[in-house]
Structure 1
Amino acid sequence: MSSCLFCRIASADIPAKVIYQDADLVAFEDINPQAPLHCLVIPRRHIGTLNDMTPEDATLVGTMHYRAAQIARERGYADGGFRTVINCNADAGQTVFHIHLHLLAGRRLGWPPG
């Protein structure tokens, strides 16, 4: 999708502070961080929302979570704890309609969120 911000980041048409990438995923720092570690993990393939997933996408979303845990471990936050969040649609706070997992760590995170 040529107009999708995250598709354009995944294809390197728009610069981002990429911290991980492979054939399926890209992880980059959030431009408005809410914690000392706040990055987004996205699939390279466009999936608008969790509602748009197919059964074949389940493994990809699991891999997004696995990669987030690896990033938290590499950055030294795994033992202290971290949060992963995927918002689905506007009422939940999704503003870019390309699924993305927020990884937040490095400060105490309240519950319930927002």
Structure 2
Amino acid sequence: MTDTDCLFCKLAAGEIPSTKVAETERVLAFRDLYPKAPTHVLVIPKDHYANVAELTAADPALAGDVLAVAAEVAAAEGVADSGWRLIANSGPDSGQDVFHVHFHVVGGKPLGPMVSA
């Protein structure tokens, strides 16, 4: 399933170019255009789900595939041993601005506190 107006659906379909880091039949990982750390890769399911709850309710196996690709990206980027953060904003109050579930793999430097007041 796709949303024809969704930026990440268009990226997953290859309609918009991206710098791919990893790809499976159901998952795409690509570099963030505005990285917050030396490693900043977005990992998305190719099918459209608006947020984490929607994805996990509809397709738990796909949610697991997304997490597996995130771990593979961390290893490939050389941050698996030093530490990396997996971030999923879910809903407007979290700061989610693209409503296609996505996970940020962030690392390559000390990241500091997880949430600042």
- Structure 1-normalised TM-score? 0.93
Task: Report the 3-state secondary structure (helix = DSSP H, G, I; strand = E; otherwise coil) of the residue aligned with 1:66.
Answer: helix
Alignment-derived partner of residue 77 in structure 1? 79
Any residues of structure 2 matched to 1:67-106 within 5 Å, and which?
67-106=69-108
Question: Which residue among 7, 10, 29 is the counterpart of 1:8?
Answer: 10
1:59 aligns with 2:79: no
- Structure 2-normalised TM-score? 0.91
State the shift of 1:55 in Å: 3.3
Q: CA RMSD in A?
A: 1.3
Question: Which residue among 34, 46, 49 is the counterpart of 1:47?
Answer: 49
Structure 2 unmatched ranges of 5 or more: none
Structure 1 unmatched ranges of 5 or more: none
Q: Which segments of structure 1 move beyond 4 Å, counting only runs of 4 or more?
A: none
State the shift of 1:56 in Å: 4.2
State the shift of 1:75 in Å: 1.7
